[in-house]
C-alpha cells in the first residue's frame, strides 16, 4: 500500500513500511541509549574484577589484625546501600595478570604486603604511614569501566579507613576522659602537696630560729660543762681531803671510844669520886653551920637596924645598916636554901658519877659506831672522788661536744634558712602546679563511651554529602537521551520524506500550504515518536503518572518542533541541511554530558533548537521549573522553521528563463 507522500531523492512512493521505519528510529535509538547507559550501577555484576591480597596480618595489643582480609571481605560483600556489586574473584598476582590480558577481568585491585602494618601505624605517632591499594584496568576496558572500578575501590578504602579512624579516635577520646581523671587526681595530689609544702615552709621558717636557739643553748651547755668539769675536779680534790680527814676522825673516834670505856669505871668507882662525895658531905655540914650563923647575924643586924634611929645614929648609917641587914637576911635565906640542897648534893654525887659513867659508856659505843661510819664514809668519799674525776672528764668531753653542737647548730641555722627559702619556693611552685593541673583537668574533655563513639564518627567523617544518587549520569540523563532520540527521529523523517514538494512549481496552492503538506506527515510521525520514547522512559524509570504525562506532552511538542526544524534545514540548505542537523545533534550531546565544556560551546548550544526541548524535559522530571518557557521556545522554533520552509517552497516556485531554456530548447 502506497501513500501520497513524496519520498526524498526518489520518485518511488512512500509505503507504510517506510513510515514504520522512520517511526521506530528514535524509539530504537532512545531504547538502546537508555538500556545501555541509564543507571549502570544496577548491572555492576556484569563486570569481573580480581582481588590480589598480599597483605601480612599484624598483631596490635595482643590481637591479630588481618586488615587486608577484612578489606577483601568488604569489597566482595558490598554495601547494603548499593543495588549491586562487581563480580569479584579472589586471585593471585599471576592469575590476575593473565586475566587482564585475556579479558577475564576488567580490573584488578591489589592489596600490598604492608597494608595492615601501615593501616595500624597511627598508634606509632610520627612514624604513621598511609595504607594504599593499587588499581589496574584492562587495556581494552570501556570508557567508564575505570571510573566505576576506581569509585568502588576508593569508596571501600574510604569507608574502611573511616572505620579505622573511628576506632582510633574513639580510643583517643576515651583516653581524654582517662587523662582528665588522672589529671584531676594529680591536681588533688598537687594541692595536698602544696598544703603540706606550705605547712613545711611554716615549720622550716621556725627551724632557723630554733637552730639558733639550739646553738646558743649548746654554747651555754659547753660553758656549764666546763664549769662542771672544774667543779668536779675541785670536788674530787675535796673528797680526797675528806677521805684523809675522815680516816683520821675514824681513828680518833676509835681511840675516844676506848678512852671513854676505860674512863667510865674511873668516874664511877675511882678515888676522886669517893673524895668528892666525902667533901660534899663535909661541905653540907659547913653549909649548915654557915646557914645558922648567917641567920643569927641577920637577926642581929635587923635588931640593930630597928634600934639605929633610936640610938641617935645618923640616918645614912641607919640606911646602910638597914641595907646590910637586908643583905644579911638574903644571905641567911640563901644559906638556908643551900643547907637544904647540900645533903642532896652530897647524896647525888654517887648517882652523878654512875650517870656520867653510863653516859661515857654510851658515848664510847657511839664513838665506836662513829668510827665505823667514818670508815664507811672514807670508802664512799674515795668512790665519790673517783666519780667526781670521771664526772670532770665527762664534763670536759661534754664541753667539747657542746662546742661542736654549737658549731653544727650554727650551720644548721644557715642550712635551715636555705631550707626554709627552698620549701617556700616549693610551696609556691606546687601551688602553681596544682592550679595548672586543675585548669588542665577542667580543660581536657571527658566523654562517655557513647559520646566518644559518636564524636569519633563525626571527626572521622566530618562532612557528609546527602542527596547523591546512585545513577552514574544523574537526573539529566533521561532528558538528554530522549531529546537526542527525538532530534534524530526528526532527522530520519526528512531522510525518508521530501522536505519541499516536487509539485511546488506546478501547483496552484499557496506556498504555506505546500510547506505544511510536507510537514504534516513528519509532524504526525514525531508525535507518535515522542509518545513512544516517553513510554520507553517510563519502562526504565517508572515515574509517577502525573510527571510522566507532562514529560510525554513535552516529548510530543519537541517531536513536532524538531520535525519542523529538520524540514527547514533540508528545504533551505538541501543535503548540507542534513549535515547541519547531525552537527546539532552531536553538539547537543557533547554539551549535555558534563559541565566542563568550553564556554563558547555552551553558549552556542543554548541557541540551538534542542535547548528548549532539553530544558522542558528536565523541568518535567525534576524541580527545576520552566516547562512553560520551554514549550514557548519550541513553538517559536517550530514557527520560525515553518516560515523558513515556506520561503524555501516559494523560492522553488520561481524558475529563471535560462533554466527553462536548458530544460526545453526552442526549435530552430
What DSSP string describes 110-156?
EE-TTHHHHHTGGGGGGG------EEEE-TT--TTHHHHHHHHHHHH
Alpha-carbon gap, residue 49 to 160, rounded angstroms: 19
Give residue-wise pLDDT tens across range 40-59: 555 556 778 889 999 898 88
Q: Does residue 125 carry a pLDDT above 80? A: no
CA dihedral for 562, 568, 573, 574, sign (positive or negative): positive
What average pLDDT does this structure show over 381-400?
77
Could you tell me the pLDDT band of residue 377, with boundaries at 50, 70 and 90? Answer: confident
Alpha-carbon distances, residue 55 vs 72, 131, 137, 615 (angstroms): 10, 11, 21, 51
What average pLDDT does this structure show over 213-229?
77
The pLDDT assigned to 465 comes to 31
Q: Does residue 21 carry a pLDDT above 60? A: no
Residue with more model confidence, 235 or 179 = 235
Could you tell me the pLDDT band of residue 652, with boundaries at 50, 70 and 90? Answer: confident
What average pLDDT does this structure show over 483-511?
81
The pLDDT assigned to 134 comes to 82
Nearest CA among 468, 612, 459 for reference residue 82: 468
DSSP secondary structure letters along 538-585: HHHH---HHHHHHHHHHHHHHHHHHHHHHHHHHHHHTHHHHHHHHHHH
Angle at 373 between CA 372 and CA 378, to 5 degrees: 100
Give residue-wise pLDDT tens across range 73-90: 877 876 555 555 678 889
Beta strands 2-6 and 48-53: pairing type? Answer: unpaired
Please report where in the chains the cell 569481573 appears, as a residue: 48
The pLDDT assigned to 129 comes to 75
pTM of the model: 0.46
Alpha-carbon gap, residue 190 to 432, rounded angstroms: 9
What average pLDDT does this structure show over 284-312?
78
Give residue-wise pLDDT tens across range 435-469: 766 676 565 565 566 665 565 445 444 433 333 34
The pLDDT assigned to 609 comes to 93
Least confident interval from 111-125, 129-143, 250-264, 489-503: 129-143
Percentage of the chain surpassing pLDDT 70? 68
Q: Are 508 and 2 in contact (CB under 8 A)?
A: no
The pLDDT assigned to 641 comes to 92
Q: Which of 16-25, 130-139, 441-450, 545-554 has the highest mean pLDDT?
A: 545-554
Alpha-carbon distances, residue 420 vs 49, 206, 214, 426, 428 (angstroms): 79, 8, 17, 10, 12
Give residue-wise pLDDT tens across range 521-544: 889 988 998 999 999 888 878 889
Q: Are 418 and 205 in contact (CB under 8 A)?
A: no
Beta strands 87-91 and 48-53: pairing type? Answer: parallel
Residue with more model confidence, 208 or 627 = 627
Residue with more model confidence, 24 or 388 = 388
Residue with more model confidence, 610 or 303 = 610
Give residue-wise pLDDT tens across range 241-262: 877 876 777 787 777 778 767 7
Percentage of the chain surpassing pLDDT 90? 10
Could you tell me the pLDDT band of residue 545, with boundaries at 50, 70 and 90? Answer: very high
Alpha-carbon gap, residue 260 to 249, rounded angstroms: 16
The pLDDT assigned to 668 comes to 35
Least confident interval from 158-172, 340-354, 505-519, 601-615: 158-172
What average pLDDT does this structure show over 472-497?
80
Instruction: Write down the mean pLDDT value for the chain.
Output: 74
The pLDDT assigned to 45 comes to 62
The pLDDT assigned to 655 comes to 61
Q: Does residue 220 carry a pLDDT above 70? A: yes
Give residue-wise pLDDT tens across range 313-325: 778 878 887 888 7
**Long-range contacts of residues 185-193, Cβ cutoff 8 Å, at least 24 apart:** 186/437, 186/441, 187/434, 187/437, 187/438, 187/440, 187/441, 190/430, 190/433, 190/434, 190/437, 191/434, 191/438, 193/430, 193/433, 193/434
What average pLDDT does this structure show over 272-286?
73
- Residue 321 cell numbers, joined: 645598916
**Secondary structure of 384-416 in HEC code, one letter for each residue:** HHHHHHHHHHHHHHHHHHHHHHHHHHHHHHHHH
Residue with more model confidence, 403 or 174 = 403
Q: Does residue 10 carry a pLDDT above 60? A: no
The pLDDT assigned to 163 comes to 61
Q: Does residue 569 carry a pLDDT above 50? A: yes
Amino acid at each position: 500500500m502506497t501513500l501520497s507522500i513524496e519520498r526524498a531523492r526518489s520518485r518511488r512512493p512512500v509505503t507504510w513500511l517506510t513510515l514504520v521505519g522512520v517511526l521506530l528510529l528514535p524509539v530504537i535509538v532512545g531504547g538502546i541509549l537508555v538500556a545501555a547507559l541509564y543507571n549502570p550501577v544496577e548491572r555492576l555484576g556484569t563486570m569481573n574484577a580480581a582481588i590480589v591480597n598480599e597483605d601480612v596480618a599484624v598483631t596490635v595489643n595482643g590481637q591479630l589484625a588481618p586488615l587486608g582480609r577484612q578489606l577483601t571481605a568488604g569489597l566482595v560483600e558490598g554495601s547494603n546501600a548499593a543495588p549491586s556489586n562487581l563480580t569479584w574473584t579472589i586471585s593471585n598476582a599471576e592469575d590476575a595478570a593473565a586475566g587482564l590480558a585475556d579479558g577475564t577481568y576488567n580490573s584488578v585491585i591489589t592489596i600490598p604486603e604492608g597494608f595492615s602494618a601501615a593501616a595500624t601505624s597511627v598508634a606509632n605517632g610520627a612514624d604513621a604511614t598511609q595504607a594504599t591499594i593499587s588499581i589496574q584496568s584492562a587495556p581494552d576496558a570501556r570508557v567508564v569501566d575505570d571510573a566505576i572500578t576506581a569509585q568502588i575501590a576508593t569508596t571501600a578504602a574510604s569507608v574502611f579507613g573511616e572505620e579505622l579512624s573511628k576506632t582510633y579516635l574513639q580510643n583517643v577520646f576515651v583516653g581524654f576522659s582517662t587523662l582528665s581523671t588522672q589529671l584531676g587526681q594529680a591536681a588533688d595530689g598537687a594541692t595536698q602537696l602544696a598544703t603540706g609544702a606550705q605547712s613545711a615552709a611554716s615549720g622550716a621558717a621556725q627551724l632557723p630560729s630554733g637552730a639558733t636557739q639550739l646553738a646558743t643553748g649548746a654554747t651555754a651547755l659547753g660553758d656549764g660543762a666546763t664549769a662542771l668539769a672544774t667543779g668536779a675536779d675541785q670536788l674530787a680534790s675535796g673528797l680526797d681531803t675528806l677521805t684523809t680527814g675522815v680516816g683520821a676522825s675514824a681513828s680518833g673516834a676509835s681511840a675516844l671510844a676506848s678512852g671513854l670505856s676505860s674512863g667510865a669505871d674511873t668516874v664511877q668507882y675511882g678515888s676522886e669520886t669517893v673524895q668528892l662525895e666525902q667533901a660534899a658531905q663535909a661541905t653540907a655540914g659547913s653549909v649548915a653551920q654557915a646557914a645558922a650563923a648567917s641567920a643569927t647575924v641577920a637577926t642581929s643586924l635587923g635588931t640593930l637596924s630597928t634600934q639605929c634611929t633610936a640610938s641617935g645614929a645618923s640616918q645614912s648609917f641607919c640606911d646602910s645598916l638597914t641595907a646590910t641587914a637586908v643583905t644579911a637576911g638574903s644571905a641567911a635565906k640563901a644559906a638556908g636554901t643551900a643547907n637544904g640542897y647540900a645533903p642532896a648534893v652530897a647524896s647525888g654525887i654517887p648517882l652523878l658519877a654512875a650517870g656520867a659513867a653510863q653516859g661515857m659508856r654510851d658515848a664510847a659505843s657511839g664513838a665506836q659506831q662513829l668510827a665505823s661510819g667514818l670508815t664507811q664514809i672514807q670508802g664512799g668519799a674515795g668512790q665519790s672522788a673517783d666519780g667526781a674525776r670521771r664526772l670532770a672528764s665527762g664534763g670536759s668531753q661534754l664541753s667539747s661536744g657542746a662546742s661542736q653542737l654549737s658549731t653544727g647548730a650554727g650551720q644548721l641555722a644557715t642550712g635551715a634558712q636555705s631550707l626554709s627559702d627552698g620549701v617556700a619556693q616549693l610551696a609556691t611552685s606546687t601551688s602553681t602546679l596544682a592550679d595548672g593541673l586543675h585548669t588542665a583537668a577542667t580543660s581536657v574533655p571527658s566523654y562517655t563511651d557513647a559520646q566518644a563513639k559518636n564524636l569519633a564518627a563525626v571527626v572521622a567523617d566530618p562532612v557528609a554529602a546527602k542527596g547523591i544518587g546512585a545513577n552514574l549520569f544523574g537526573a539529566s540523563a533521561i532528558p538528554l537521551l530522549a531529546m537526542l532520540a527525538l532530534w534524530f527521529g526528526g532527522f530520519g523523517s526528512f531522510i525518508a520524506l521530501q522536505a519541499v514538494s516536487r509539485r511546488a512549481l506546478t501547483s496552484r496552492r499557496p506556498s504555506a500550504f505546500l510547506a505544511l503538506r510536507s510537514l504534516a506527515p513528519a509532524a504526525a510521525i514525531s508525535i507518535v515518536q515522542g509518545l513512544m520514547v516517553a513510554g520507553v522512559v517510563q519502562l526504565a524509570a517508572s515515574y509517577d503518572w502525573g510527571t510522566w504525562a507532562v514529560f510525554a506532552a513535552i516529548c510530543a511538542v519537541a517531536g513536532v518542533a524538531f520535525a519542523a526544524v529538520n524540514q527547514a534545514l533540508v528545504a533551505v540548505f538541501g543535503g548540507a541541511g542534513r549535515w547541519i542537523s547531525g552537527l546539532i545533534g552531536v553538539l547537543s550531546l557533547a554539551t549535555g554530558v558534563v559541565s566542563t565544556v568550553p564556554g563558547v560551546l555552551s553558549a552556542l548550544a543554548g541557541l540551538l533548537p534542542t535547548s528548549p526541548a532539553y530544558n522542558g524535559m528536565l523541568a518535567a522530571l525534576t524541580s527545576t521549573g520552566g516547562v512553560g518557557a520551554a514549550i514557548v521556545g519550541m513553538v517559536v522554533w517550530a514557527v520560525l522553521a515553518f516560515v523558513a520552509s515556506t520561503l524555501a517552497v516559494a523560492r522553488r516556485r520561481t524558475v529563471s528563463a535560462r533554466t527553462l531554456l536548458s530544460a526545453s530548447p526552442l526549435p530552430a
